[in-house]
Amino acid sequence: MNKTASQTIEQAPAEIVPVQPSEYRSSAMRRRLSSAHDPRANQLSEDYAGKWVILFSHPADFTPVCTTEFMTFAAMMPEFQALNCELIGLSIDSHFAHIAWLRTIKEKIKYKNMANVEVTFPLIADVKMEVAKRFGMVQPAASDTQAVRAVFLIDPKGKVRALLYYPLSNGRNFPELKRLLISLQTSDAHGCATPADWQPGDDVIVPPPGSCGTAKERVEKPAPGAYALDWFMTFQKLPKEALKLQRQRRPNFLPSRAALVVGSQSSPDLWTC
């Protein structure tokens, strides 16, 4: 990278805008995940427009729990993409550390029948902790220098729909992340809620009635496929084959694997191992 480009990035760190989860929008996402002068900022925004995104942080590269998580995420990436969902990782490490770690995972690490695993989703190098602090990924009670295992499920409109936090010592439950994604998509598509331990194909919950007449009707004359345990608690059959889940769309541009540098002195390119 030439000196002029380096000076531009150094003088123009990533723009950070405070925001509450319910107010999260794709424009804020673009500002957080790119340098203020990154010419591909709009392009990156277009990549994720109309898509679900799982933005997640991990404490550090070259740590055992994080390594198992990245291998699992990479192995499940086609499953998430089939649900129109993209993955974005983040840690407080440099892009050089990211590159070395991802190469090590691919070339040396074997775990639970996974080997030669290639991580192809973007990984943010948030060395100045700009993104991590704004998203609450740094918890001082746990560490002042590492991000906790935070997960943000962001819908196609750019709203944060779910937040999960795991401690430094414990890895995430990846089938649960996928189940939660499907559950959110089911609620959006069918206007329903999902009960405890819901799995695709299980009965769903009909929204509570808004009047005494509707409450009485649900108990005495339930709709086809519906049944009421009481006036406020009605379930509806929803077979797995009837689920209206979002399917993968063909993107205009898919980022390469490795690090997206945020507000660093290095180029904000997407690095490839």
List, in order of start, the domains of the chain with CATH numbers.
3-173+248-261 (3.40.30.10), 185-242 (3.30.1020.10)
Question: Strand 114-115 relative to strand 52-57: parallel, antiparallel, unpaired?
Answer: unpaired
**Pure H helices in 122-270:** 130-134, 174-190, 212-220
Return the SS3 of 54. Answer: strand
Q: How far is CA 262 from the centre of its chain?
A: 18
In the structure encoding, which two tokens stand for residue 130, read together? 């700009």
How far is the C-alpha of 271 from the C-alpha of 273, rounded, in Å? Answer: 7
Per-residue pLDDT of 148-188, as tens digits, reads 889 999 999 889 999 999 988 999 999 999 999 999 999 99
Per-residue pLDDT of 66-86, as tens digits, reads 999 999 999 999 999 999 999
Q: For residue 71, what are the contacts with CB-CB under 8 A and spacing of at least 6?
A: 105, 109, 111, 112, 114, 117
Provide the phi-psi class of 84: left if phi over 0, else alpha when psi is between -120 and 50, else beta. left
Per-residue pLDDT of 7-16, as tens digits, reads 322 232 333 2
Could you give the count of Cα atoms lying within 13 Å of 175 in the half-sphere of its Cβ?
Answer: 4
245 CB-contact burial (10 Å; exposed 0-12 / middle 13-18 / buried 19+) = middle
**Pure H helices in the chain:** 3-11, 26-32, 41-48, 64-82, 95-108, 130-134, 174-190, 212-220
Whole-prediction pTM value?
0.75
Checking if the pLDDT of 261 tops 50, the result is: no
Q: Which of 66, 85, 192, 273 is catalytic?
A: 66
> Is 66 part of the annotated catalytic residue set?
yes
- 38: pLDDT confidence band, cut at 50, 70 and 90? very low
